[in-house]
Amino acid sequence: MDGATGGLLLYSILKSARRSLTTRKPDVKWIVSYMSGFVSGRLNRKSSPFLAELERQRRLIEKYRLKALLKGKYLY
């Protein structure tokens, strides 16, 4: 879904890595699976006016969360 709705690649990588590390058994398979879904969604996405507005809003939110994540304030 992140790829299909125009999510940021860096944010998606960090989000999947964080989820993988916070589980009981950290596993790289989670990151690889998540990123393959991201790429698949990005390649198969369709354009529509609704998706363009959703993408714009999503990028604003993800940029804010990415800045907070890099500063050490974990928002999700």
Q: How open is the CA angle 69-74-76, to the nearest 5 degrees?
A: 100
The predicted-structure confidence for 22-63, as pLDDT tens digits, reads as follows: 777 777 787 888 788 888 877 887 776 767 787 788 888 888
Task: Look up tokens 């916070």; give the residue.
Answer: 22
Domain that holds residue 41: 9-71
Q: Are 37 and 3 in contact (CB under 8 A)?
A: yes
Quickly state the pLDDT bin for 76 (edges 50, 70, 90): low
Residue 3 lies in a domain: no
Domain count, the chain: 1
Quickly state the pLDDT bin for 1 (edges 50, 70, 90): low
Residue 28 lies in a domain: yes
